[in-house]
Amino acid sequence: MTRVLSVASECVPLVKTGGLADVVGALPHALVGAGVDMRVLIPGYPAVMDALKRAKAVKTFADHFGGPARVLRGKLGEAVLYVLDAPHLYDRPGGIYGDAEGRDWPDNPERFAALSSVAALIGAEGIEGWSPQILHCHDWQAGLAPLYLRALGAGDRVASLMTIHNIAFQGMTPPDRIASLGLPPEGFTQDGYEFWDQVSALKAGLSYADRISTVSPTYAGELMTPEFGMGLDGLLRARQADLTGILNGIDLDLWTPPYKSPRGKAKYRAALREEFGLPDWPGPLCVMVTRMTEQKGLDVLLQALPALLDRGGQLVLLGTGARAFEEAFRAYARDHAGVAVTIGYDEQLARRMIAGGDAILVPSRFEPCGLTQLYGLRYGTIPLVARTGGLADTVIDASPAGVAAGAATGVQFHPVTAQALAQALMKLVKLHQEPDTWSRMMRNAMAAKVGWDQSAAAYAALYEEMVKTE
């Protein structure tokens, strides 16, 4: 059985800000049947510490990045969970990355270097008699672990995998922190962890890990282009032989529609309209659950919405993010009877929206994998998506060929412009007006393989390739 330590900054059901947490929480369970013993290491934020039951201290540090710390052992379902309990780093109000005003914690470099350092120590020394063969490092918060592992002299026997969930976040900090982070100064070069005269935790991971993965095959290709690579495309092109794209899945037990067939959606659609006070219009009821940022295409959606509303369609949006977008959509909803907006995040409301919606909109400029379109497929809520990253890999477009073959599961559009999105929305309305075609698309969507089975098998195969001789 391959032994893997998964290292991340968040993990469902304990702490979550985005899709990273879903993946980290789901992988250990998905891999059990694939011959992988995966344990998880995360920071001891207040919510995590509150959830720990009968945790046992298995490693202690008198001074770890400025204060005492312990590694506690807990449970993540049936999997082993390790929590880095370092109150001086993690026991604080606000969010896990920043304060209540949204400002990053100024010591974030040390907070996540501490996590990466403990991961490397476990790799080098083992813990409780258990030694990982692979460190699986997620995003910049775990990016220094492969470098620390090599500095400890364990890189020749313990392999490391760096997974990019979103390359837009790179963990940058000035070089005057090199000593406080315990980094080897000789690594501050173009071939090491230096990036535009800064320390980049993500670049460290990409430079020093044995292998690199990301969360969809299309995004893996996109990352090697200047448009999507965020300045790291050259490094990724140089390492393309070590780069793999593996799609995310979703937990099918957690995301199960309350109906067995497309016909069952009608009552949930009616309930959703009633909940938001929307009239019973003839067009598709579209939903969107999103972070309200430019990445997610909110600006082009505002411009394209008349193409939906003028044809009897509606939109229910749930999200939070940039204040300008929040205010713009609130104002739009006040002026248009077919639009309802809730600012914030409520997972139960999200589930009701996906169950009751006819279609789910994901017009992202870039999307490494995306989970909301997978939820949409599972619920027969037709995804309308930009043709990028994991959206392109998971949704079969209702092109003439796709419809004729009876294979379509959604609508794709490109480029991400107001005109292209408006045309896609008009196409969506037209498909909705063809009951047989729409019903077939819903059945196809609900039959799509969106669970973890295939992805878990791909990860297990990758881990097996990576194991070094002990």
314 touches 285 (CB < 8 A): yes
b (16+ CB within 10 A) / e for 397-418 = bbeeebbeeeebbbbbbeebeb
325 vs 306: CA distance, rounded Å: 17
* Binding-site sequence positions: 16
In the chain, where the domains are located: 2-249+453-466, 262-447
Handedness of CA 74, 76, 81, 85 (dihedral sign): negative
Per-residue pLDDT reduced to its tens digit, 185-199: 999 999 999 999 999
Residue with tokens 């492969």: 146
Tokens for 417, please give them.
Answer: 């412009």
CA separation for the pair 310, 118 (Å, rounded): 57
Mark residue 360 as left, alpha or beta (left: phi above 0; alpha: psi -120 to 50; beta: remaining). Answer: beta
Q: Strand 159-164 vs strand 211-214: parallel, antiparallel, or unpaired?
A: parallel
How far apart CA 124 and CA 106 sit, in angstroms, is 29
What's the rounded Cα separation, in Å, for the pair 25 and 42?
11
Dig out the tokens for 326 from the structure: 């929040």
CA angle 342, 347, 352 (to 5 degrees): 75
- CATH homologous superfamily of 262-447: Glycogen Phosphorylase B; (3.40.50.2000)
Distance CA 208, CA 150 (A): 8
Burial class (CB in 10 A: 0-12, 13-18, 19+), 395: buried
Question: Side chain identity at 435, as an amino acid letter?
Answer: P
pLDDT at 383: 98
The model scores a pTM over 0.75 = yes
**Domain 2-249+453-466 shares a fold with domain 262-447:** yes
**Extended strands (E) in 95-148:** 134-138
Per-residue tokens: 50: 């509150």
Superfamily for 2-249+453-466? Glycogen Phosphorylase B; (3.40.50.2000)
- pLDDT on residue 470: 57
Exposed, middle or buried, 470 (CB in 10 Å: 0-12/13-18/19+)? exposed
Strand, helix or coil for residue 292: strand
Identify the three-state secondary structure at position 68.
coil
Per DSSP bridges, beta strands 79-85 and 69-76 are antiparallel
DSSP label of 469: P
pLDDT at 80: 97
- Which residues belong to the annotated binding site for ADP-alpha-D-glucose? 16
Burial of 233 (0-12, 13-18, 19+ CB in 10 A): middle
pLDDT mean across residues, the chain: 96
Q: Output the tens digit of pLDDT for each of the chain's 470 residues.
A: 999 999 999 999 999 988 899 999 999 999 998 999 999 999 999 999 999 988 899 999 999 999 999 999 999 999 999 999 999 999 999 899 999 888 999 999 999 999 999 999 999 999 999 999 999 999 999 999 999 999 999 999 999 999 999 999 999 999 999 999 999 999 999 999 999 999 999 999 999 999 999 999 999 999 999 999 999 999 999 999 999 999 999 989 889 999 999 999 999 999 999 999 999 999 999 999 999 999 999 999 999 999 999 999 999 999 999 999 999 999 999 999 999 999 998 989 999 999 999 999 999 999 999 999 999 999 999 999 999 999 999 999 999 999 999 999 999 999 999 999 999 999 999 999 999 999 999 999 999 999 999 999 999 999 999 999 75
d(CA 42, CA 142): 10
Q: Which residue, 336, 349, 343, 301, is CA-closest to 319?
A: 343
Whole-number pLDDT of residue 96: 95
Comparing CA positions, the residue from 155, 140, 145, 142 lying closest to residue 120 is: 145
Residue 88 tokens read as 């001086």
> Minimal CA–CA distance to 26: which of 61, 77, 68?
77
Neighbours of 85 (CB within 10 A): 21
* CA 126 – CA 394 distance, rounded (Å): 38
Please list the helix, strand and coil fractions of the chain in percent, rounded to the nearest 5, in that order.
Answer: 40, 20, 35
**For position 381, what pLDDT does the model report?**
98
| Pairwise CA distance, residues 443 & 379, whole Å | 10
Q: What is the pLDDT of residue 136?
A: 98
CA 174 to chain centre: 27
- Of the candidates 275, 303, 307, 261, the one whose C-alpha atom is nearest the C-alpha of residue 416 is 303
Give the gyration radius of the chain's Cα atoms. 23
